[in-house]
Amino acid sequence: MSKETPKSETPAEDEIHPAARPFLWLDSKWAKKAPFWIFGGLAILMLVFEVLNPFHRTGKWYEVLGFYEIEGFVGFCLAVLMGWPLRRLLGRKEDYYDQEGDND
């Protein structure tokens, strides 16, 4: 009688492709949270620079403090949210390639 050891959720060393080994650090908790803190810090830093060194603006909307940061955030959200209607417009059903038709 042989005892089977339960498989752990992490892959064994021999199941990891050699080309993937340098990128295993990307699965750590800090690597998943780092972009939020980096880009958030950069946004705050740009806001501080805008207060210390105001831009030469020509329009009335440009006079709002943080306009460029707000504009960038809204543009990013718009680009991300446009993925939903585009997927409905351009996407195919999950079983698209499994369907059998007359042209097989």
pLDDT at 53: 83
Instruction: Please state, in angstroms and rounded to a whole number, the distance separating the CA atoms of residues 56 and 72.
Output: 18
pLDDT (mean) for 31-59:
85
Name the amino acid, one letter, at 67.
F
pLDDT at 75: 92
Instruction: Please state, in angstroms and rounded to a whole number, the distance separating the CA atoms of residues 5 and 74.
Output: 52
Structure confidence by residue, pLDDT tens digits, 47-87: 888 888 877 777 787 778 888 888 889 999 999 899 888 88
pLDDT above 90 (res 15): no
